[in-house]
């Protein structure tokens, strides 16, 4: 033991012994002097002892009295400070009953005494059990009178043997409730068709066109009081306060309309794709949201703004026709990637959407032919809803070369292994895929589709080839085939399937038919595709024709918008699409919708001549598609309720367009 420790120990011992030993020494000294016949000295010592003890007692009592007074004063000061705290504070029992509070808390009850009142009756909506957990992280925000409070509690010692007491704090955050508006959102802007616009503008006007575009975007940033940086020839990033994003939502992102008015002799309107990320825990998370939102905007054809607030996604704009991209660079790059994935796979499965049509089936047959030419096993998964493709499917089944090509969903499960590649064609929305369980079971998958990108896209795909400018998936597959093998050895019947898919989705080359559409059709025609056979695939029998006529007869037409309901005898969903196509051929009808009840489901097909975006209307009720052609399916609902929902969606869209 150290010397300092020894000294400290003995000092404490001496201090404890002195108060006991001193009186004993005085008494023994007095007795000794009396026995030595020295009574005077003994009496003197006795008097000193008595005076010493009286003095010591008086001093001790005075010190204890002073300490008590000081303690009482400190306690009173603490009590006064608690009473005068700017934040309301209360003591409650476990039942929530208030038995003490400060002056600020009394103000919450508007001059009525809160003593004996349950705290929940003052802070209405307060969760008492959550409050008594005493976790500050689980604070609750409750509005009392005109103020917003953050409420939490701490547990104190027991009031008696049976009950605990809690101190409840009410922190006024009214001055901070608008702090959300000062948070920064990330906005990504891309001039999505800059190269096409510049190509369609005279060279002398191009510098002025670029200057006008930059001026418009920078003026937009100044209007939002945003920080803006240009990080590519046609891309910008902005940091914007949330309150300005709310204003843009109310204004429907008018910048989309403003930039389209730029005119320097350009043949095409300038369009923007805007992605906004907000609601994240940090700027990095908001930036990730903004990237996803902009990808959605681009995947849906551009000319729109998409806001991603955590899991919530909102769309604005998207009323401009997609501009066909002349270059095939991406098709060539994608084709090589797909070819490498096929080589790395043990087998390939191809699957499309429910209620399969010729675009979906034709593209599946075309891809299966190339996969076989690359030396891999391939199968096409089909459901029971094959009525729309029966003519072509029966022709294929007559050819022995296609034996075992088509399999059921049940058989597909037996062919899946770790190296199986799944090709999803003509669909990317989880809600419309033939079998979602197969998609989830297979790890390696690619998507080839031409529909506007949906938020419910299949996750985890190795490659997403979604081109909304393409007329059809069959057109996209026709281009891929030409790059995947040097000399595509497609049979005439396979080429007919692809050409039929293009013919169907373009409505006989009258919709979305660009230069590349006709180039693809020319290539397929050169492989021996017979246009007469293709026409036979879409011929109706007498019963179907009469069904379409009855559907058209039921149409209600108002302001160029027609809504028709198919007769109850309809059994095939694609007949609604055929009826919608026929309705749009009638003069005075610019937009049409056909509803058909198939079992417990309501099928809706929408068509537009271009003035109204049917994709946006049907997307609002769970559907999707293109600006001119779209569809939706409502489950377990009556025909009348479905019609009402559709009318509400049309009314809401037209009102927003105004």
- Binding site, residues? 353, 357, 359, 426, 450, 505
CA dihedral 341, 342, 348, 352 (to 10 degrees): 60
Residues 6+ apart with CB under 8 A from 540: 548, 578
Among 209, 295, 280, 216, residue whose Cα is nearest residue 242: 280
CA distance 198 to 329: 18
Among 144, 283, 279, residue whose Cα is nearest residue 227: 283
Among 375, 365, 619, 343, residue whose Cα is nearest residue 491: 365
**H or E element in which residue 521 lies:** helix 515-526
Q: What angle do CA 215, 218, 221 make, to 5 degrees?
A: 150
Q: What are phi and psi of 197, to 5 degrees?
A: -65, -45
**Strand (E) positions, 356-453?**
377-381, 406-407, 420-425, 444-449
CA distance 394 to 167: 79
Known binding residues for Mn(2+): 353, 357, 359, 426, 450, 505
Between strands 272-278 and 98-101, the pairing is: unpaired
How many Å from the N-terminal Cα to the C-terminal Cα in the chain?
92
Q: What residues form DSSP beta bridges with 636?
A: none
CA distance 419 to 403: 23
Token readout for 301 is 């054809």
């Amino acid at each position: 033991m150290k010397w300092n420790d020894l000294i400290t120990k003995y000092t404490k011992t001496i201090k404890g012994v002195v108060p006991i030993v001193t009186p004993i020494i005085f008494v023994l000294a007095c007795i000794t002097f009396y026995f030595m016949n020295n009574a005077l000295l003994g009496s003197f010592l006795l008097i000193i002892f008595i005076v010493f003890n009286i003095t010591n007692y008086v001093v001790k009592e005075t010190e204890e009295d002073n300490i008590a007074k000081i303690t009482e004063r400190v306690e009173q000061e603490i009590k006064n400070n608690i009473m005068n705290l700017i934040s309301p504070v209360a003591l409650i029992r476990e039942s929530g009953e208030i038995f003490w509070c400060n002056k600020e808390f009394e103000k919450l009850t508007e001059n009525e005494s809160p003593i004996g009142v349950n705290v929940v009756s003052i802070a209405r909506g307060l969760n008492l059990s959550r409050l008594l957990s005493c976790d500050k992280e689980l604070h609750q925000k409750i509005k009392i009178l005109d103020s917003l409070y953050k409420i939490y509690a701490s547990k104190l010692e027991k009031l008696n043997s049976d009950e605990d007491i809690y101190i409840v704090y009410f922190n006024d955050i009214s001055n901070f409730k608008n702090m959300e508006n000062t948070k920064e959102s990330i906005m990504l802007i891309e001039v999505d068709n800059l190269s096409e616009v510049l190509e369609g503008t005279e060279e002398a006007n191009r510098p002025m066109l670029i200057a006008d575009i930059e001026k418009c975007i920078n003026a937009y940033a100044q209007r939002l009081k945003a920080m803006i940086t240009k990080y590519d020839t046609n891309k910008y990033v902005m940091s914007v306060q949330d309150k300005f994003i709310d204003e843009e939502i109310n204004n429907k992102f008018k910048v989309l309309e403003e930039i389209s008015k730029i005119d320097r002799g350009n043949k095409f309107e300038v369009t923007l794709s805007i992605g906004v990320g907000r609601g994240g825990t940090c700027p990095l998370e908001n930036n990730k949201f903004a990237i996803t939102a902009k990808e959605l905007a681009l995947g849906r054809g551009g000319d729109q703004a998409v806001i991603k607030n955590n899991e919530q996604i909102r769309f604005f704009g998207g009323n401009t026709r997609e501009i066909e991209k002349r270059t095939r660079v991406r098709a060539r790059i994608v084709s090589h990637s797909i070819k490498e994935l096929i080589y790395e796979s043990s087998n390939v499965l191809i699957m499309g959407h429910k209620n399969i049509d010729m675009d979906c089936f034709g593209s599946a047959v075309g891809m299966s032919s190339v996969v076989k030419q690359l030396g891999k096993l391939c199968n096409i998964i089909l459901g029971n809803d094959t009525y729309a493709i029966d003519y072509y499917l029966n022709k294929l089944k007559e050819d022995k070369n296609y034996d075992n090509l088509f399999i059921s969903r049940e058989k597909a499960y037996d062919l899946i292994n770790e190296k199986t590649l799944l090709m999803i064609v003509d669909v990317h929305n989880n809600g419309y895929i033939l079998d979602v369980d197969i998609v989830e079971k297979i790890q390696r998958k690619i998507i080839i589709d031409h529909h506007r990108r949906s938020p419910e896209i299949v996750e985890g795909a190795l490659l997403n080839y979604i081109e909304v400018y393409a007329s059809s998936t069959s057109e996209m597959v026709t281009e891929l085939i030409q790059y995947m093998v040097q000399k595509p050895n497609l049979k005439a019947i396979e080429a007919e399937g692809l050409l039929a898919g293009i013919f169907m989705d373009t409505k006989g080359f009258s919709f979305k038919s660009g230069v590349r559409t006709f180039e693809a059709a020319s290539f397929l025609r050169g492989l021996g595709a017979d246009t007469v056979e293709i026409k036979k695939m879409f011929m109706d029998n007498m019963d179907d024709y009469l069904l379409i006529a009855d559907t058209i007869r039921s149409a209600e037409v108002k302001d160029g918008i027609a809504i028709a309901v198919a007769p109850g005898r309809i059994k095939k969903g694609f007949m609604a699409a055929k009826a919608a196509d026929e309705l749009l051929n009638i003069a005075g009808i610019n937009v049409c919708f056909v509803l058909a009840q198939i079992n417990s489901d309501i099928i809706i097909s929408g068509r537009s001549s271009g003035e109204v975006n049917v994709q946006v209307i049907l997307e609002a009720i769970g559907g999707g598609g293109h600006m001119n052609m779209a569809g939706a399916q409502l489950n377990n609902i009556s025909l009348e309720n479905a019609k009402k929902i559709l009318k509400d969606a049309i009314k809401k869209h037209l009102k927003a367009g105004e």
